[in-house]
Structure 1
Amino acid sequence: MSLTPFHLGSLLALLHLLGILAAIHAILTVRTSQGAVAWAVSLLAAPYFTLIPYLILGRSKFSGYVEARRQRNRLMHSRVGEIDWHAGQPGALQRNVGFSALTRLTGMPFTANNGVRLLINGDATFAAIFEALRRARSYIIVQFFIVHDDALGRELQQILLERAAAGVKVYFLYDSIGSYDLPAQYTETLRDGGVHAHAFATQRSLIKRFLNRFQLNFRNHRKIVVIDGDRAFIGGHNVGVEYLGRKPPLSPWRDTHIDVTGPAVIGIQRAFVEDWHWATGEIPSVKRLPAPSGASMHCQVVPSGPADRLETCSLFFVECINAAEQRVWITTPYFIPDEAVFSALRLAVLRGVDVRLLIPSRRDHYVVFEATTLYAYDAVRAGIQVYQYQPGFVHQKVVLIDDAAAAVGSANLDNRSFRLNFEIMLLTVDDVFAKDVEHMLDTDFAQARPMTRDAYYRLPFWRRIAMHVARLFAPIL
């Protein structure tokens, strides 16, 4: 049957009608006005190009997820009770260390008596994690966004199987989107060996999980390892040989993790327990009382996600930037800020603060890289010092505030981390640790090239067009 002009006209009319309905849906549901406008205009003007992308990437709210997640969390907390942050920790709760808004925002206190150690790059990170896993005696928590079935992934698998065989309870959670290529055999082997392994998905029913395959917006981007409730690891690394810097063209891979002891471990663990309870309906058997660390650092755990009543991740960065009096140095692989964060950065410059950004000079995702580069040029014009890391790909998520505060975790400076992903950061207030972070970032900046105000105008015209087109997708990048 040939396609007549009548049939073609009817098809185009139907597409435009669906585009109108989708545009109305975007206006009603997309979280930011910029995102709503971007989707609505594109759906009305060219629905035949944007309908399918909107179905895949358009939602910035879970259908019924937010309240369901909150109900699950309330149920979980009612079953396990609230954490006694004072237990066994004289003076563990301190309220006069600044950043008071974060305590109210997260529902967790700023705690003292913590120890935090930098782990620079993949070899140091996984050596420390694997050593700690092998020493586990009670339970292990492992959660990553990406797990590959490669040499590093199989080493992790083997360690988890060994500890499970030794009677250690092992909980393994991975994101179903980030680990889309993880073979079923990998997790089946873990389960056969006694490991509690489960995928995190935004929907739990079989039908909704199938539909979620076509909804790529919501991802659990956290990287958490906890051993016996006494020691935790969080940061930017996932599980794959590329994170060891052994996979061109992005190698050497530059990333940062942290090794945490003290009451902050319980806060990190709580974020995992909420995710595990959502994914499985079960509450893992974990320690609830903070363990002494022998250290004296003040720390604030900042978990964030799309079920939060406020946009925790974006507000976290705004709070950190606004708190800076002398400097705020930030390193991120993706710089696609919302207006609140960008305004905070510009205001910091006007206050005389030394504002620096470290971003990649190599791309791992073309559209994100082009949008990041354009925002970086805008930042330079606003007086922000932007540096592009030269040796390889920089993936670390680190913030340094003045001479006393620093944060490390999984959150990027982009809309995805601000509003769509589940993330976790740890803010520390400690002069010695801040000095360690300063030394690390000084080394990174020394291997980076500063961006200049006029460099944008020296780019080929087609590249500038590509960058501006890429930025149109900022609400979903």
Structure 2
Amino acid sequence: MSLATCLCALLLLIIIWLVLDFRLGRKKHLSIASFMETTILHGYVDIFTHGKELFADYFQEIRQAKKHIHVLFYIVKDDSFGQEFLEMLKEKAREGVEVRLLADRLGSWRLKPSTVKALREAGVKFAFSNRIKLPFLFYSAQVRNHRKITIIDGEIGYLGGFNIGKEYIDQDPKLSPWRDYHLKILGESVHSLQSEFMIDWEEYGGENLQHEPPYFPEKSLSRGPVRHQFVPTEAGMLEGKFIQVIQKAKNSIIIGSPYFVPSNRVMSELILALSRGVTLTIIVPYNADHLLVQEGSYRYLRKLLKIGAKVYQYKNGFYHAKTMVIDDNICDVGTANFDKRSFFLNKEINCYIYDSAFITRVKEVIEKDIADSLPLTIDKLNKPNPWRATKEILARFISYFL
């Protein structure tokens, strides 16, 4: 048997293994996942759009923590900003505050073993979420915990698109300034965010904290004016939720996402919305931060532009916000991108807001982002470009994993 034949046979076996691994892993994941969303809650909600302002507030609240700090991030980097964050957590742990940090195994791969050891020695309870494990190595490598939530003393919550790393505070020249949306939440709904952290911590940290009363304040948290709910998703649940929300649109849909690679069902709903007279506005980055993600979006944007959608490419830095606004009635801000990876693979959590005053505020932010963008036209996308066309073909084959 020739070397070429052996290599072809080996390649075929690898492909068969990857396909079986992924399908069987997904089947098991679907069998154990369950859809949960909170009831309509009431609280006080603020929005941050720049990392420096967010983390100034965030760090101040952490430094003032008295009882416990629970943190989940997709990315925690071991750079200078990450070290500042981790040193602060260690200092709070030494003060006697209970500190728990959950970081995604692949998203936070830059955390060195020595860094993790130092955290634990200082008293920080640390765990990696979504570790790659048998028997489905390939599938488990694809399913990431993309959530970013923090709960401080059971009274203050944060949720959104920012992670821990220099680029998020405009210290990466290639991606600065970084544009993102992150919520700060006070009031009764913080209990629900705390419970969601506990579910993830039990799975990856190995401790059941659900029935520990110290994590919930003895006093009742106030019912603020902003109606909202949290929707954690995984294993395909987000696709159905987004379809449900899109179907409610009567006048307008606004989508902001760094990656626009919708599923066929979601794409069909957007086309139906346009056909019934709903305006569709999409904001995406002008410059991409990952290989092929931009080219992966073009075939969808091309179809939508042809039937009347408006698409804007954000130019004032890198656009990483994740939002959807339906009429003046629903505003979604969370951790999920508008792509198949968030729809079908990642663990995500979104906050759906039903408050006209807050939605007006978010729309003002979006209008500013559109003003800092360039319109994407069908003529530009149809202009002959062999290299782009080649990348579009490649992106189409792997669109599930972009």
Q: Same fold (TM over 0.5)?
A: yes
Deviations 1:85-130 (A, max 9, x none): xxxxxxxxxxxxxxxxxxxx5242122x211111111111111211
Q: Deviation at 1:428?
A: 0.6
> Does residue 11 in structure 1 map to residue 6 in structure 2?
yes
> CA–CA distance in 2 between the matches of 1:388 and 1:149?
31
Look up the equivalent residue of 2:149 and give its one-letter code. Answer: I
Matched position secondary structure for 1:170: strand
> CA–CA distance in 2 between the matches of 1:359 and 1:434?
20
Tell me what 2:387 maps to: 462
Q: Higher mean Cα deviation, 441-450 or 349-358? A: 349-358
Tell me what 1:368 maps to: 293
> CA–CA distance in 2 between the matches of 1:13 and 1:149?
41
Gap change, CA 1:16 and 1:231, over 3 Å in 2: closer
Tell me what 1:352 maps to: 277
> Does residue 396 in structure 1 map to residue 396 in structure 2?
no
Matched position secondary structure for 2:2: helix
Gap change, CA 1:454 and 1:465, over 3 Å in 2: same
1:338 is matched with which residue: 238, 263, 276? 263
> CA–CA distance in 2 between the matches of 1:253 and 1:359?
13
Matched position secondary structure for 2:58: helix
Look up the equivalent residue of 1:408 and give its one-letter code. Answer: V
Look up the equivalent residue of 1:420 and give its one-letter code. Answer: L
Aligned ranges for residues 21-420 of structure 1 at < 5 Å?
21-22=16-17, 26=19, 58=22, 61-62=25-26, 64=28, 67=31, 105-111=35-41, 113-202=42-131, 208=134, 212=137, 216-284=141-209, 285=212, 286-287=215-216, 291-306=220-235, 311-420=236-345
Matched position secondary structure for 1:318: helix
Runs of at least 4 residues of structure 1 off by over 6 A?
none
Q: Deviation at 1:200?
A: 0.8
Q: Deviation at 1:62?
A: 4.8
Contact 1:140 1:227 in 2 (8 A): yes
> CA–CA distance in 2 between the matches of 1:181 and 1:289?
39
Matched position secondary structure for 1:260: strand
> CA–CA distance in 2 between the matches of 1:65 and 1:297?
34
Gap change, CA 1:386 and 1:290, over 3 Å in 2: farther
Gaps of 5+ in 1: 1-5, 30-54, 74-104
Q: Deviation at 1:203?
A: 5.5
Q: Higher mean Cα deviation, 159-168 or 429-438? A: 159-168
Gaps of 5+ in 2: none
> CA–CA distance in 2 between the matches of 1:214 and 1:260?
34
Look up the equivalent residue of 1:221 and give its one-letter code. Answer: H
Look up the equivalent residue of 2:25 and give its one-letter code. Answer: K
Aligned residues: 398
Q: Deviation at 1:418?
A: 0.4
> CA–CA distance in 1 between the matches of 2:365 and 2:15?
51
Gap change, CA 1:21 and 1:236, over 3 Å in 2: closer
> CA–CA distance in 2 between the matches of 1:452 and 1:117?
34
Q: Deviation at 1:235?
A: 0.4
Q: Deviation at 1:429?
A: 0.3
TM-score by length of 2: 0.92
TM-score by length of 1: 0.78
> CA–CA distance in 2 between the matches of 1:319 and 1:352?
18
> CA–CA distance in 2 between the matches of 1:216 and 1:174?
15
> Does residue 435 in structure 1 map to residue 364 in structure 2?
no
Contact 1:346 1:383 in 2 (8 A): no
Q: Deviation at 1:364?
A: 0.7
Look up the equivalent residue of 1:352 and give its one-letter code. Answer: G
> CA–CA distance in 2 between the matches of 1:332 and 1:255?
10
> CA–CA distance in 1 between the matches of 2:297 and 2:8?
37
Matched position secondary structure for 2:238: helix
Q: Deviation at 1:403?
A: 1.5
Q: Deviation at 1:271?
A: 2.0
Look up the equivalent residue of 1:431 and give its one-letter code. Answer: S
RMSD over equivalenced CA pairs, Å: 2.4
Gap change, CA 1:179 and 1:19, over 3 Å in 2: closer
Identity %: 33
Q: Deviation at 1:324?
A: 1.5
Q: Higher mean Cα deviation, 338-347 or 377-386? A: 377-386
Contact 1:266 1:288 in 2 (8 A): no
Matched position secondary structure for 1:271: helix
Q: Deviation at 1:355?
A: 1.0
Contact 1:223 1:238 in 2 (8 A): yes
